[in-house]
Structure 1
């Protein structure tokens, strides 16, 4: 598996992978969040869009949005905190370590950017992602749970980089 910044040629596929990974959590075809998930170009322009590719075939397996300080994609992070969003693994690549590799990369990027901790938000229903985060040293921080829109509850996680 190769991890790299997304290129212009990756954007349509990265958006499609993100939409497919989040499909079970969307409220039908008219869900407003669907377009945001597809908009990999905005994430690449306004944050850091990283992709995981199959080294043999070059196929995109997944992607993640790393939100450095100053990025409009930051939702939860404050001073000294890194954040990543929209971790997405193609349904056909799940179970191959893609998500773990992208989380580790996100943590490394936060460390390189001077963060002391990394935070993220996740839908309550994303149990598989929560297991991954806990396995990689993230703890729940319920005092930072929030609702971006009424009825959509996001739960928060954090890891401290000094301990890693």
Structure 2
């Protein structure tokens, strides 16, 4: 199998719609396993975050001139979760996504390592993220990359939904 090559870079403002489309496509599989009202709110929040302005870096993976993945990197204590009383002393990764047909090619791990590199450059000693139990493939990747559970940062955004905290210390 031929290795796929991609580059990582900061997103351009005119790429927000593409990033949103990639993320919505990547997260669509969770609609069937999340409570319907929660999914509607989650998807709305995802789109609003990706379309809006924010105190975060938009990082993309590009292959052959097309975007194939993206991630948001928030600085420490940036209140990255609207409505959740979560504030961390370390940078936070959100909305890691790649086109479903591009999974398994190292794009997600490369985007996560780029977030880690940037966090270290900014002087951070660790980096965090939040995910849900239904995101099993992502959790396996995070754990392979050295992330460990931080139950003290878990939160419950809706009935029967627990968002799980993870952190990787360098």
2:135 matches 1:126:
yes
1:9 to 14, 28, 31: 14
**What is residue 156 of structure 1 aligned with on the other side?**
165
| Displacement of 1:72 | 4.0
Identify unmatched segments of 5+ residues in structure 1: none
When residues 70 and 41 of structure 1 are mapped into structure 2, their CA distance, relative to the original with a 3 A threshold, is farther
Q: Summarize deviations over 1:115-138 as a string: whole Å, max 9, x none.
A: 111111101111111111111111
**What is residue 52 of structure 2 aligned with on the other side?**
42
Between the aligned partners of 2:139 and 2:145, the Cα distance in structure 1 is: 10
| Displacement of 1:24 | 1.6
C-alpha root-mean-square deviation of aligned residues, in Å?
2.1
Between the aligned partners of 1:114 and 1:3, the Cα distance in structure 2 is: 21
**How many correspondences in the alignment?**
157
2:73 matches 1:63:
no
2:88 matches 1:78:
yes
Between the aligned partners of 2:148 and 2:79, the Cα distance in structure 1 is: 25
Q: Summarize deviations over 1:19-60 as a string: whole Å, max 9, x none.
A: 1111122355970221332342325x4311111000xx2111
SS at match of 2:101: coil
SS at match of 1:32: helix
Please give the TM-score of this superposition, normalised by the length of structure 2: 0.83
On the 8 A contact 1:77/1:119 being kept in 2, the answer is: no
On the 8 A contact 1:88/1:99 being kept in 2, the answer is: yes
Please give the TM-score of this superposition, normalised by the length of structure 1: 0.85
Moved more, 99-108 or 109-118: 109-118
SS at match of 1:95: coil
Identify unmatched segments of 5+ residues in structure 2: 1-5
| Displacement of 1:68 | 1.1
Alignment of structure 1 residues 106-117 onto 2, 5 Å: 106-117=115-126
